[in-house]
Chain A
Amino acid sequence: MISYYIKLAALSIKRNPVLSTLMMMAIAVGIGAFMTMLTVHHMMSSNPIWWRNDVLYNVGVDTWNPNEPYYEDRPELPPEQLTYRDAKALQASDIPTYKSYMFKTAGVIQPENEEVAPFIEIGRMAFNDFFAMFDVPFQYGGAWGDSADTRDEFVVVLSQETNDKVFGGENSVGKRITIDNREFTVTGVLKEWRPTPKFYDLNNGAFGPTEAFYMPAQLYETVQAQRVGNTNCWKPEDLDSFEAFNNSECTWIQYWVQLDTKDQRERYADFLHAYLQEQAQLGRSARPDQYLMATPEEWLEINEVVGDDNRVLVGLSALFLIVCLLNTVGLLLAKFLGRAGDISVRRALGASKLDIFRQQLVECGFIGLIGGVIGIGLSGFGLLAVKKMYQFDGSVMMDGEMIAVAFLTAIIASIAAGLWPAWQICRVPPAGYLKTQ
Chain B
Amino acid sequence: MEIRPIFSAMLRNKTGPVLIAVQIAITLAIVANAAFIIEQRAEKMNRPTGMDHENLIFARSYGFGANHDTMATIREDIDALNAMPGVRSAAYITNIPLSGSGSNSGFLAHPPEGENDPDSANANYYSADHRLMETLGLKLAAGRWFNPEEIDYNPDDKAFGALPQAVVVTRAWADAAFGEGVPVVGKLMYDSIGESSRIIGVIEHMQGAWVSWDGLNQVIMMGSISAAHPLVTYAINVEPGQKDRLIAEIEAKLQEINRDRVVTEVRAHTDYIADSYANDSAMIQMLTAVSVLLVAVTALGIVGLAAFNVNQRKKQIGTRRALGARRIDILRHFLLESLVIAGIGIGFGIVLAFAMSWWLGVQFNLPQLDWRFVPPVILGVLVISQLAVLGPARRASGISPALATRSV
Contacts and interface: CB of A to CB of B under 8 A. Distances in A.
Interface of A: 22, 26, 29-30, 33, 37, 65, 67-68, 106-108, 110, 117-120, 180-181, 204, 226, 233-242, 245, 307-309, 311-313, 316-317, 319-320, 322-324, 326-327, 329-331, 333-334, 337-338, 385-386, 389-391, 420, 424
Contacts of B285: 385, 389
Nearest to B286: A313
Nearest to A311: B364
Given A181-B66, A330-B16, A420-B15, A323 B26 contact: yes
Q: Is the interface of B mostly helix, strand, loop or mixed?
A: helix
A319 B26 contact: yes
Contacts of B65: 181
Q: Is the interface of A mostly helix, strand, loop or mixed?
A: helix
B39 to A, nearest CB: 15
B64 A108 contact: yes
B301 A330 contact: yes
A331 B192 contact: no
B27 A240 contact: no
14 contacts: A22-B304, A26-B300, A119-B262, A181-B65, A311-B364, A312-B366, A316-B34, A323-B297, A324-B297, A327-B298, A330-B301, A330-B305, A334-B305, A334-B308
B249 to A, nearest CB: 17
A326 B21 CA distance: 10
Nearest to A242: B158
A181 B349 CA distance: 67
A323 B159 contact: no
B370 interface: no
Contacts of B19: 326-327, 329-330, 333
B16 A309 contact: no
Contact of A334 (B157, B191, B304): B304
A389 B282 CA distance: 5
A26 B262 contact: no
**Interface size range of chain B in the complex:** 35 or more
Contacts of B297: 26, 29-30, 320, 323-324, 327
Nearest to B281: A389
B6 interface: no
A239 B191 CA distance: 13
Nearest to B283: A309
B282 A320 contact: no
Contacts of A319: 26, 30
A65 B116 contact: yes
Contacts of A26: 297, 300
Contacts of B30: 316, 319-320
Closest 5 CB pairs of A and B: A236-B192, A389-B282, A108-B64, A334-B308, A308-B364
B279 interface: yes
Contacts of A233: 105
Contacts of A240: 156-159, 161-162
Contacts of B300: 22, 26, 327
B158 A320 contact: no
Contacts of B86: none
B301 A239 contact: no
Given A327-B301, A330-B20, A312 B116 contact: no
A330 B304 contact: yes
Nearest to A385: B285
Given A235-B115, A313-B286, 10 more contacts: A37-B286, A226-B230, A234-B116, A245-B158, A311-B363, A334-B16, A334-B304, A386-B286, A390-B279, A420-B15
B269 to A, nearest CB: 17
Contact of A118 (B37, B262, B364): B262
A425 B15 CA distance: 13
A323 B27 contact: yes
A313 B290 CA distance: 9
B364 A312 contact: yes
B26 A322 contact: yes
Contact of B62 (A120, A311, A326): A120
Given A240-B158, A323-B26, A33 B293 contact: yes
Nearest to B33: A316
Nearest to A19: B304
B278 A390 contact: yes
Nearest to B308: A334
A307 B285 CA distance: 16
Contacts of A22: 300, 304
A74 B59 CA distance: 39
B15 A424 contact: yes
Nearest to A333: B15
A326 B23 contact: yes
A226 B159 CA distance: 11
A308 B365 CA distance: 9
B301 A386 contact: no
Contacts of B261: 108
A183 to B, nearest CB: 13
B117 to A, nearest CB: 9
Contacts of A67: 115-116
Contacts of B307: 334
Given A108-B62, A181-B65, A334-B304, A313 B283 contact: yes
Interface in B17-61: 19-20, 22-23, 26-27, 30, 34, 37
Contacts of B305: 330, 334
Interface in B142-174: 156-159, 161-162
Contacts of A337: 312
A327 B283 contact: no
